[in-house]
Amino acid sequence: MPVVTRPSLTLTLLQAREAAMSFFRPLLNQHGLTEQQWRVIRILRQHGEMESYRLAELACILKPSMTGVLSRLERDGVVARRKPPHDQRRVYIDLTKHGHECFLSMSGDMEDNYRRIQAQFGEEKLQQLLGLLNELKQIKP
């Protein structure tokens, strides 16, 4: 009896991510940013200063990779690291003035890309998809 292969959820999610990122990659490339760097900038802009481990979690970046991402962003003056005097093991990350300016300089074009996706996919379907993905994020093994 042949085995019926279920459609791959993880592969479909990756393929959908690639389709969405095709709208944003050219702009990131123009600004010399990687996808990971943009995620860090966007999260810090939205949430403000936070510990590096939490930033790694929210950005879906493994800690070893996050070290390199933050080093490059710090070198370029986009983020600053801060160690509180009472606990030198902790590291807090925040956007610098240049980091905020970088976000603002890209936000209009990024919003245009979202509108292009919305125009092709539809506002209702986009909102439904975001809702479903947020529900999917909540499930636990």
- The proportion of the chain whose per-residue pLDDT surpasses 90, expressed as a percent, equals 87
Please report the pLDDT score of residue 114 as a whole number. 95
**Cα–Cα distance, 22 to 3 (Å, whole number):** 34
Domain boundaries, the chain: 25-136
Please report the pLDDT score of residue 87 as a whole number. 85
- The proportion of the chain whose per-residue pLDDT surpasses 70, expressed as a percent, equals 99
Interval 73-78 mean pLDDT = 97
Q: The sheet that has 79-82: what strands, in order across it?
A: 50-51, 92-95, 79-82
Interval 72-84 mean pLDDT = 95
Quick: pLDDT tens for 104-141: 999 999 999 999 999 999 999 999 999 999 999 999 98
Q: Which fold has domain 25-136?
A: Arc Repressor Mutant, subunit A (1.10.10)
Quick: pLDDT tens for 28-37: 999 999 999 9
* Residue 12 tokens, joined: 């479909």
Q: What angle do CA 84, 86, 89 make, to 5 degrees?
A: 65
Please report the pLDDT score of residue 1 as a whole number. 67
Please report the pLDDT score of residue 66 as a whole number. 94
